[in-house]
């Protein structure tokens, strides 16, 4: 179904984005990256696309590229707790422990702020 919607219009970004999410979920990482790149080419300032692509890189064990994408998501939204948390995880994997701890603290503070705001 998603493939048909992609064939109908290259600009149907929502379908391409969700297709990428599904590809990641079933472990088709290279296809997920391809889907997210398509969306990113049309929406380069969308924090969620950078975050999701970072998760794919993280799943693949490429923590440097994951950090790059999480950095962009955080640059676009400094309060993006999920991106801070996952960047911390990749920093930890790369043995940048001090930076990872700082990000974990920021992520926890942002998540707590979000929870209190509800």
Q: What are the pLDDT digits (tens) for 48-91?
A: 999 999 999 999 999 999 999 999 999 999 999 999 999 999 99
Centroid of chain to Cα 19: 15
pTM: predicted TM-score of the whole model, two decimal places: 0.87
- Cα(68)–Cα(55) distance, integer angstroms: 11
Phi/psi region, residue 9 (left: phi>0; alpha: psi -120 to 50; beta: rest), is beta
Fold entry, domain 63-118: 1.25.40
Q: What are the pLDDT digits (tens) for 20-43?
A: 999 999 999 999 999 999 999 999
- Domain boundaries, given as residue ranges, for the chain: 1-44, 63-118
């Amino acid at each position: 179904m998603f493939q048909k919607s992609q064939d109908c219009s290259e600009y149907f970004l929502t379908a391409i984005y969700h297709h990428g999410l599904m590809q990641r979920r079933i472990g088709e990482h290279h296809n997920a990256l391809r889907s997210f790149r398509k969306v990113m080419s049309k929406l380069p300032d969308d924090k969620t696309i950078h975050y999701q692509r970072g998760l794919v890189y993280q799943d693949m064990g490429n923590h440097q590229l994951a950090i790059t994408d999480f950095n962009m998501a955080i640059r676009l939204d400094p309060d993006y707790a999920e991106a801070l948390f996952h960047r911390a995880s990749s920093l930890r994997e790369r043995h940048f422990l001090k930076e990872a701890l700082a990000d974990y603290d920021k992520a926890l503070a942002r998540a707590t702020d979000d929870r209190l705001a509800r």
